[in-house]
Amino acid sequence: MENRTDALLAELDAFMAEYDKRTNAHDVNRWRELVADDATYWFTDGSFEGIDAITDAVQRTFDEIQDEVYTISDLHWVCASADCAVVRYRFHWVGYTNGQRREGQGRGTNAMIKENGRWQMIHEHLSA
């Protein structure tokens, strides 16, 4: 049983690493491939339901913050099974808005589902 759990957590860690990588690439079309069509995202500036609304919100952030570097750390898997998982983590970002260096940090919680053999985000909640 432990080997299965270790393998599952390694798979989920790899998914989160890919999510982080695609976030930092600032290519919203590649990023959105990791988000479920019916996902809900809660950000400090609003709540967004459905892939199109979420993608628009993320694109606005990509456009607003130039040269952003976003990192996640301290992942804690609240629950993990073969078809769903929840993770808590800390995030930090740094970039430029209107020529000024800015940065922020906070906490995140994400819920993932696995359908047709691939993981996707179904919910994200970020708070400062």
pLDDT the model gives residue 1: 44
Whether 97 has a pLDDT exceeding 90, the answer reads: yes
Q: What is the DSSP string of the chain?
A: -HHHHHHHHHHHHHHHHHHHHHHHHT-HHHHGGGEEEEEEEEETTEEEESHHHHHHHHHHHHHHSEEEEEEEEEEEEEEE-SSEEEEEEEEEEEEEETTEEEEEEEEEEEEEEEETTEEEEEEEEEE-
Residue type, position 12, single letter: L
Mean pLDDT of all residues in 104-120: 97
pTM of the model: 0.92
2-127 belongs to which CATH class?
A: alpha beta
Residue tagged 């988000």 (tokens)? 35
Structure confidence by residue, pLDDT tens digits, 15-40: 999 999 999 999 999 999 999 999 99
Mean pLDDT of all residues in 80-97: 97
Whether 3 has a pLDDT exceeding 90, the answer reads: no
Structure tokens at 100: 């000024």
Domain boundaries in the chain?
2-127
Whether 4 has a pLDDT exceeding 80, the answer reads: no
